Amino acid sequence: MTSSKDTARPIVEMTGISIEFPGVKALDGVDLRLFGGEVHALMGENGAGKSTLIKALTGVYGIDAGEILVGGAPHRFSGPGEAQGAGIATVYQEVNLCENLTVAENIMLGNEPRRFGAIDWRATRRRAAEHLATMGLDIDPASSLGSHSIAVQQLVAISRAMVVDAKVLILDEPTSSLDADEVARLFEVVRALRDQGVAILFVSHFIEQVYEISDRMTVLRNGGLVGEYRTAEISRGELVSRMIGRTMEVLEDLQVRTDHAVDPTAGTPFLQAVGLGRRGSVQPFDLDVHPGEVVGLAGLLGSGRTEVARLLAGADRADAGTLHVKGEPARLRNPRAAIDRDIAFSSEDRKAEGVVGDLTVRENIVLGLQAERGWLRRLPGKQVDEIVDRYITALGIRPANPDALLRNLSGGNQQKVLLARWLATAPELLILDEPTRGIDVGAKAEIQRLVADLASRGMGVVFISAELEEVLRLSHRIAVMRDRQKVAELTNGEAVGLDDVVELIASGGTH
């Protein structure tokens, strides 16, 4: 894995890093080397362990095994303050600065020059201005940080990192909310810092950006190390397949497939989005979903697939384009508006946006239906029992105890309960965002079978999954997302293979 040119000693050398959380091995023997004067990309799908690795390096998490060498000396950081002291600075995805303070205050916070023990504001502002100048940022240090765009805040955060003369700069998803010009500006700064000899760790879901800026990359998958590569020596297709891995063969045997012989695209679509979009979230896109059709959304995490789902479900409000449901124009101002139009949405964030943990399985299943009726018209107990029994049996929810608290169920069974919640509302369109993430193989197959079954009975389904095989098997049509836009749409069939989709995700279908 070591290339012959690496004669210089790395500034940071992490070897055999393992971190365990109760019940989960988040990192398992991962290595990472950061060289001065290099931009190093850390790649991997969500849950691959990127954030955990960064947090190990910055002292947010303690490590259970392994060694961290900084400048050749072993280090164990017990907090972000200590890591900063050792010259490791981090700029997090959601800029971790204080919007209520001024730019100068944010840059210098904790490192203000003193005069007779008191903070010397004049010197503080002057030094902040100097740091801004080196970044090429022409903003007033006394203006409040909140009045600037995310891009500027990002650069301010980097300025702050450089106050402590950082030898290592970690950029965690710095470009996720920037537009193209802003990214270019950020990259200029990053290159300048690299040329000064700073080691930069760059984390991003945007493949193109990684190829544009990085010299070297480390790929992680499922908490383990896949390998370290020179950017110039690995192709985009290779990178994507290393990131997602090919460990899904097990499922191939299950042969869950939608019947591709049927062509549901005849007739009017149930849902028709034209130029639907939301600033800072997803570029305007067109999408039709017909009754009985499974539309798959493929793309890496952060490519905009979730954002598309949220717009279709009224979870976020669109600020561009139009949406028609059953031929009628529809403005989905909130999830309730979508539910009233028979659209059901199961969020990817099961824990935060699905599970009501302290309620029972029974209550969770009828929650959607009851919400539709309002609090005054309670569902009759008999009807509730009938619905709950039906879905517990139909979906094989274990334990089959309607009075169990949902938080005590396994992830797969929680997912089934959420599916039951939505199916109980008898939707005509079911939007499933990562319904099979983090659940065991058996439950996964059951959910896939259910999706195929529902579609064959006339329900429209939008299916999102990071596992391309799954999308490929279930979908009639596949929309490919990349860098927050829809880049391609293909009709699924025998001729379409995994490699075609991977190729589209990697290249964007532009060549």
Partner 1 sequence: MTTTVPDGGTTQGARARRGGGGPATRRALRLDRRYLPVVGTFVVLALILVVGGMRYDNFLSVGVLANLFINNSFLIVLAVGMTFVILTGGIDLSVGAVLALSAVTAAYLLNAGMPAGVVIPLVVLVGSVIGLLVGAMVHVFEIQPFIATLAAMFFARGLCFLVAPESIPISEETFVALAGWDTWIGGQWRITSSVVIALVVVAVAFYLLHYTQFGRTVYAIGGGEQSARLMGLPVARTKVLVYVVSGTCAGIGGLLFAMYSRSGYSLTGVAMELDAIAAVVIGGTLLTGGTGFVLGSVLGVLVLGLIQTVITFEGTLSSWWTKIVIGGLLLVFVILQRVLTVRRT
Partner 2 sequence: MSATSAPPPRTAGRLGAVTSHTLFWPVVALVALLAANTIFRPSFLSVSVLNGHLFGSPIDILRNCAPLMLVALGMTLVIATRGIDLSVGAVVAIAGAVALSFIATAPEPEAIGTVLTAIGIALVLSLLLGVWNGFLVSVVGVQPIIATLILMTAGRGIAMLITQGQITTVTSAPFKTLGAGFWLGLPVATLVAFGVFGLVSFLTRRTALGMLVEAVGINPSASRLAGVQARTIVWTVFALAGLFSGLAGLILASNVMAADANNAGLFIELDAILAVVIGGTSLAGGKFSLSGTFVGVLIIATLTLTVTNLGISPLVTPLFKALVVAAVTLAQSPVVRRKLAERAVRRPSTSKAVA
The backbone torsions φ and ψ at residue 154, rounded to the nearest 5 degrees and listed phi first, read -60, -45
Q: Which is nearer to partner 2, 167 or 350 (CB)?
A: 350
Q: Which is nearer to partner 2, 170 or 418 (CB)?
A: 418
Select the binding partner of residue 267 from partner 1, partner 2, none (C-beta < 5 to 8 A, by kind): none
Select the binding partner of residue 410 from partner 1, partner 2, none (C-beta < 5 to 8 A, by kind): partner 2
> Where would I find the beta strands (DSSP E) of 253-347?
271-278, 282-289, 294-298, 320-325, 328-329, 343-346
Q: Which is nearer to partner 2, 123 or 356 (CB)?
A: 356
- 442 Cβ contact partners less than 8 Å away, ≥ 6 residues apart: 412
Which tokens hold the place of 466? Answer: 């990071």
> Does 160 engage in binding with partner 1 (CB under 8 A)?
yes
In the bound complex, what is the minimum distance in angstroms from residue 458's beta carbon to partner 2? 22
Q: Crossing angle, helix 150-163 and helix 180-195, to 10 degrees?
A: 10
Select the binding partner of residue 373 from partner 2, partner 1, none (C-beta < 5 to 8 A, by kind): partner 2
Taking the alpha carbons at both ends of the chain, their separation in whole angstroms is 31
Residue found under tokens 């079954």: 453
> Does 372 engage in binding with partner 2 (CB under 8 A)?
yes
Q: Which is nearer to partner 2, 182 or 348 (CB)?
A: 348
In the bound complex, what is the minimum distance in angstroms from residue 96's beta carbon to partner 1? 4
Nearest of 278, 269, 265 to residue 332 by alpha carbon: 278
Q: What does the per-residue mask of binding to partner 2 show for 79-108, with x meaning CB under 8 A? A: ------------------------------
Rounded CA gap, 289 and 274, in Å? Answer: 12
Q: What does the per-residue mask of binding to partner 2 show for 189-228, with x meaning CB under 8 A? A: ---------------------------------x------
> Does 134 engage in binding with partner 1 (CB under 8 A)?
no
> Does 144 engage in binding with partner 1 (CB under 8 A)?
yes
> Does 22 engage in binding with partner 2 (CB under 8 A)?
yes
Q: What does the per-residue mask of binding to partner 1 show for 80-99, with x meaning CB under 8 A? A: xxxxxx----x-x---xxxx
Which tokens hold the place of 210? Answer: 């990684």
Q: Which is nearer to partner 2, 157 or 443 (CB)?
A: 443
Label each residue of 172-237 as H, E or C.
Answer: ECCCCCCCHHHHHHHHHHHHHHHHCCCEEEEECCCHHHHHHHCCEEEEEECCEEEEEEEHHHCCHH
> Does 380 engage in binding with partner 2 (CB under 8 A)?
no
Rounded CA gap, 350 and 436, in Å? Answer: 11
- DSSP structure string for 400-426: --TTSBGGGS-HHHHHHHHHHHHHHT-
Site for partner 2 in 312-351 (CB under 8 A): 313, 315, 334-336, 339, 345, 347
The only residue of 73, 118, 376, 495 in contact with partner 1, by rule CB under 8 A? 118
> Does 185 engage in binding with partner 2 (CB under 8 A)?
no
The only residue of 421, 476, 482, 486 in contact with partner 2, by rule CB under 8 A? 421
Q: What does the per-residue mask of binding to partner 1 show for 53-72, with x meaning CB under 8 A? A: -------x------------
Residues near partner 2 (CB under 8 A), total:
47
Contact window for partner 1 (CB under 8 A) among 29-37, 73-81, 241-249, 344-352: 73-81
Residues near partner 1 (CB under 8 A), total:
37
In what order do the strands lie in the sheet containing 294-298?
A: 343-346, 429-433, 460-464, 294-298, 477-482, 485-491
Q: Are strands 294-298 and 460-464 parallel, antiparallel or unpaired?
A: parallel
Rounded CA gap, 396 and 377, in Å? Answer: 29
> Does 3 engage in binding with partner 2 (CB under 8 A)?
no
> Does 328 engage in binding with partner 1 (CB under 8 A)?
no
Rounded CA gap, 153 and 156, in Å? Answer: 5
Rounded CA gap, 25 and 45, in Å? Answer: 16
**Any idea what DSSP says for residue 77?**
-
Select the binding partner of residue 141 from partner 2, partner 1, none (C-beta < 5 to 8 A, by kind): partner 1
> Does 371 engage in binding with partner 2 (CB under 8 A)?
yes
Q: Which residues bind partner 1 (CB under 8 A)?
A: 60, 79-85, 90, 92, 96-102, 105, 109-110, 112, 118-119, 121-122, 125, 129, 138-144, 146-147, 160
